[in-house]
Structure 1
Amino acid sequence: MFLKRVEHMLTRITEFFLVAITVSLLLISFILFVEFLLMSPNLFHLEEVIFADHIKDATKSLKEIISPLLMFVIVVELIIMLIKHQPRIVFDVLLIAIAREIIIAGHNFRDVLLGTISLLILFFIRKFLTLKSIPPGTAVIIDPYITIESLNEMLDVHIPFEEDKYLVDLIERIAEERGIVLKKRKMIDIANVKIEILDVDERGKPVLVRVMKTA
Structure 2
Amino acid sequence: MRQYLKNEVFKISKWVELILSAIITIAVIGGTIWLVRDLIQLMMEHPGTDEIYRFVGVAFNLVICIEFIKMLCKHTPDTLVEVLMFAIARQMIVEHTTPLENLLGILAIAILFAIRKFLFGEFDDVDKTIFLPSQKIADINQLIHVGIPEEFQGETLEDLMEEYVEKGERGFQVGQCYFFLGGALRVEKVINGRIAEIEVIRDRSVPFMPKEH
Q: Give TM-score scaled by structure 1 length.
A: 0.59
Q: Which amino acid in the other structure matches residue 94 of structure 1?
A: L
**Structure 2: 5+ residue stretches without partners:** 133-139, 204-213
Which of 102, 112, 117 is the aligned partner of 2:102? 112
Equivalent positions of 1:1-215 (< 5 A) are 2=1, 5-6=4-5, 8-40=7-39, 41-46=41-46, 58-126=48-116, 128-129=117-118, 134=122, 145=130, 158-159=147-148, 170=157, 172-176=158-162, 180=167, 181-183=171-173, 187-191=176-180, 200=190
1:112-165: per-residue Cα shift (whole Å, max 9, x none)?
A: 332232223223434x4256x93xxx69xx98737977xx99xxx85459679x
- Quote the Cα distance in structure 1 between the aligned partners of 2:197 and 2:7: 8
- Quote the Cα distance in structure 1 between the aligned partners of 2:2 and 2:187: 17
- Quote the Cα distance in structure 2 between the aligned partners of 1:6 and 1:63: 49
Give the structure with the higher percent helix: 1
SS in 1 for 2:91: helix
Deviation of 1:173 after TM superposition, in Å, equals 4.5
Deviation of 1:101 after TM superposition, in Å, equals 0.9
- Quote the Cα distance in structure 1 between the aligned partners of 2:113 and 2:186: 36
- Quote the Cα distance in structure 2 between the aligned partners of 1:31 and 1:203: 47
Return closer, same or farther for 1:162/1:20 CA change in 2, 3 Å cut-off: farther
- Quote the Cα distance in structure 2 between the aligned partners of 1:114 and 1:59: 24
8 Å Cα contact 1:144-1:206 kept in structure 2: no
- Quote the Cα distance in structure 1 between the aligned partners of 2:11 and 2:192: 15
CA RMSD of aligned residues (A): 4.5
Deviation of 1:16 after TM superposition, in Å, equals 1.0
Deviation of 1:208 after TM superposition, in Å, equals 9.8
Q: Which amino acid in the other structure matches residue 37 of structure 1?
A: V
Q: Which amino acid in the other structure matches residue 45 of structure 1?
A: E
SS in 1 for 2:173: coil
Percent identity over paired residues = 20
Return closer, same or farther for 1:129/1:34 CA change in 2, 3 Å cut-off: same
Deviation of 1:20 after TM superposition, in Å, equals 0.7
8 Å Cα contact 1:63-1:104 kept in structure 2: yes
SS in 2 for 1:97: helix
Deviation of 1:23 after TM superposition, in Å, equals 0.1
- Quote the Cα distance in structure 1 between the aligned partners of 2:184 and 2:54: 51
- Quote the Cα distance in structure 2 between the aligned partners of 1:89 and 1:63: 26
